[in-house]
Structure 1
């Protein structure tokens, strides 16, 4: 982001008379207080908000300043300093006081091709310097070709007004609709990618006007002018070009080419024989005579026509404003055509989207029905599974309760069995004690007593066994 001095320009410069103005800029003569040197102060009105249409947006001002800070060439206006206040950015520029080149030439009685070539050569030198830095001016026209001082035989040309200039970046497509219709290249009119070639077309138009006093594509209306440009509709009218060399015409033809890749580059233009011949442009039989003089009457009429296009007070300020309005109208008209095309394209897109939507809606409806059926089946299976789950839970609970009852009965039987065992054990012990007592009293160890003892023991064991078995079996038949 460019930084400007946040100081009052009036503290360092004495501001003088107005030299000219544009839609959002005023140029005034100024004198630097510390050196006494004269400069031109260009006051550019800043746009206060993005929504506003008054003033120049900061990005455009910064771009112009950035480009001017990069250039230093005898044929290009020089930036000296930049200041900024609340409403304006002030560019302190080299003072170019010689006026417009074409106004200077219109005052002459005649113009030789050698003189014309010298002026075109200066323009080419300045543009060559810009193009080597990949900078396109994009606004080369009669009013932006000024003279540093017109009081010398061959004045020094200065290219001014870099408000539309852009740095061309490789691989970055740049499109815009700007400039003065009379001088713009076909690629600008057609809203195609722009490059350095657009400046070469403008040089071809300037050369045509310089040699003839006529504008090659200028029509009665802006639309007619633009149509002539896109069709490359021009010719070398004998009335205007009877005294013009074939080399000069060839130079113009090779610049006014619609296909940018076939148009002369700045280096090729500088090497063209009409530029390099230095007085050799005339036919051999003419070389011994005085150089052919091109009448400037037509050029004078052209400049007068340009200035007569201004509003009634004939001020440079209003002429510039009028030109800006014409350019704005061109942009609006182009924008309207683009909108019409965009509307048609949008209508096609809408119809395509509606068709796609209808197809998708039918598909979604079909898929929705299938999903609804599958969901219904899943719900039925889920309810069935829940019912089975409930029955299983009840069976488990019933089985658990049954196992609990069996366990309790087994505990009860075990208690009964234990009690019976203890009872039988006590009875058996008592019987043994009786038998022992009986044995001791009778003293018969082998006779009837022993036999009786044995029979009693067997009967007791059988009784015990039978009683225990029947009790248990009775318990299990619950």
Structure 2
């Protein structure tokens, strides 16, 4: 958004008399020094901190300025310039000096439906321009329907005060609690998603009051008024509507519809016969006579009562705290419903968990017993192995000792064997020498001695070996 001019408005405008005020805004007449043209300066008190409840938030001011910069229509007030200082944002607006529409009509002795229709048509034209831009005013009421100049036969209407106006975005849900109770639509009271349809309800209420001087839903208290709105509790009392045409009543009926889908749109309202027929409002037999005049006595009483009993107009009082409470209550209620709906499921889940826990507990108990038994068995086997290990160690020691004895005996036998072998070797050598001497003596003669001579060495060796072996074995005691 284009930044506001950080300049003192008094340097460019002469500030004059006060024209009106609200809780956080004051409207004063002013004159531009450079041109001499007259405007209305709306001083909006800025909120100094997020925690504060005094003043208007920056976001709300910027939204109002943004919307005013977008609109340019004969029936809508025009924004001329914006200034800002430390405490205020000042909107320089078109000067609308004709006063409120209802005050103007209340001063007349009577009002024809044709005149009423001409004013309603202007309101519809201005709202139609807003709705084509997807802008909802959200604060249509008699105080915000002004006359540019009341000194002409059919004064020109101007819609003012866009402090609550919003751009309606497709697919974006918007809820709020704001406006003047007497004119708000049921969806605002019920904190439901809002759209352009809320303005059409307000137009229905304005038309009802304009034609009768009575407010359709106004109760003795704010709570009663809101209850009447949500119940769509109203009627066309004969005291107030005896001179009103059926077309006018039909127009109102089709606007005061609770279901937003069934409520007249701005285009449908502009095409309604009561708006398009103008002089054909009356029945054919009545058209030859003078138009029926609606008495303005009740309208005069209504405007006097409003100005004396109602607080100064303040479109910025949008019940933020109440809206947040309603939203919190809705969330709590939604949570409670969800909790109640899930109660049975949660109960089943708890029972299932308890069952699973019991099964797991029994399984763990069984596994624990099995583990204890296995551990006891392992301890027994361990002790058994320790005992066997001890016995084996003793056996190994005994075997080692036996092997030592055998080794010593073997060494002794080897010594004996070696001595015997040497002795036999010496004896064998002696025998060989002896046999050799026999051969020399007997020569080559044959006979029994020849066999002995043929291989005496082998025979003698075999005999000695057999004898030696038997002797050795006998010496080992094996």
Counterpart contact for 1:180–1:327, Cα < 8 Å: no
Specify whether residues 446 and 351 from structure 1 end up closer, same or farther in structure 2 by C-alpha distance, changes over 3 A only: closer
TM-score normalised to structure 2 length: 0.70
Q: Find the counterpart in structure 1 of residue 73 from structure 2.
A: 73
1:53 aligns with 2:30: no
Equivalent-residue separation in structure 2 for 1:477 and 1:8 (angstroms): 141
Q: Find the counterpart in structure 1 of residue 84 from structure 2.
A: 84
Counterpart contact for 1:23–1:320, Cα < 8 Å: no
Structure 1 residues 323-379: Cα deviation after superposition (integer angstroms, max 9, x where no partner): 999999999999999999999999999999999999999999999999999999999
Deviation at 1:5, TM superposition (A): 1.2
Deviation at 1:35, TM superposition (A): 1.1
Alignment length (residue pairs)? 478
Structure 1 residues 412-464: Cα deviation after superposition (integer angstroms, max 9, x where no partner): 99999999999999999999999999999999999999999999999999999
Q: Secondary structure at the match of 1:371?
A: helix
Counterpart contact for 2:185–2:198, Cα < 8 Å: yes
Counterpart contact for 1:178–1:331, Cα < 8 Å: no
Q: Secondary structure at the match of 1:317?
A: coil
Specify whether residues 345 and 390 from structure 1 end up closer, same or farther in structure 2 by C-alpha distance, changes over 3 A only: same
Specify whether residues 416 and 111 from structure 1 end up closer, same or farther in structure 2 by C-alpha distance, changes over 3 A only: farther
Structure 1 residues 126-155: Cα deviation after superposition (integer angstroms, max 9, x where no partner): 000000001000000010000111111111
Q: Indicate the larger mover: 133-142 or 448-457.
A: 448-457
Specify whether residues 60 and 96 from structure 1 end up closer, same or farther in structure 2 by C-alpha distance, changes over 3 A only: same
Q: Any runs of at least 4 consecutive aligned residues in structure 1 with deviations exceeding 6 A, and if so which?
A: 311-478
Specify whether residues 141 and 376 from structure 1 end up closer, same or farther in structure 2 by C-alpha distance, changes over 3 A only: farther
Q: Indicate the larger mover: 55-64 or 11-20.
A: 11-20
Deviation at 1:278, TM superposition (A): 1.7
Specify whether residues 257 and 311 from structure 1 end up closer, same or farther in structure 2 by C-alpha distance, changes over 3 A only: closer
Q: Indicate the larger mover: 11-20 or 62-71.
A: 11-20
Equivalent-residue separation in structure 1 for 2:194 and 2:99 (angstroms): 30
* C-alpha RMSD over aligned residues: 7.7
Structure 1 residues 265-287: Cα deviation after superposition (integer angstroms, max 9, x where no partner): 00000001110112111121211
Equivalent-residue separation in structure 1 for 2:472 and 2:11 (angstroms): 130
Stretches of structure 1 that go unaligned for 5 or more consecutive residues are none
Equivalent-residue separation in structure 1 for 2:34 and 2:221 (angstroms): 50
Q: How does 1:186-225 map to 2 (within 5 A)?
A: 186-225=186-225
TM-score normalised to structure 1 length: 0.70
Counterpart contact for 2:183–2:205, Cα < 8 Å: yes
Stretches of structure 2 that go unaligned for 5 or more consecutive residues are none
Equivalent-residue separation in structure 2 for 1:406 and 1:93 (angstroms): 133
Counterpart contact for 1:105–1:111, Cα < 8 Å: yes
Deviation at 1:102, TM superposition (A): 0.3
Specify whether residues 234 and 31 from structure 1 end up closer, same or farther in structure 2 by C-alpha distance, changes over 3 A only: same
Counterpart contact for 1:14–1:33, Cα < 8 Å: yes
Specify whether residues 320 and 449 from structure 1 end up closer, same or farther in structure 2 by C-alpha distance, changes over 3 A only: closer
Equivalent-residue separation in structure 1 for 2:47 and 2:365 (angstroms): 55
Equivalent-residue separation in structure 2 for 1:106 and 1:87 (angstroms): 38
Counterpart contact for 2:144–2:160, Cα < 8 Å: yes
Equivalent-residue separation in structure 1 for 2:400 and 2:14 (angstroms): 112
Equivalent-residue separation in structure 2 for 1:415 and 1:47 (angstroms): 127
Q: Secondary structure at the match of 1:262?
A: coil
Specify whether residues 465 and 130 from structure 1 end up closer, same or farther in structure 2 by C-alpha distance, changes over 3 A only: farther
Answer with 1 or 2: which has the greater Rg. 2
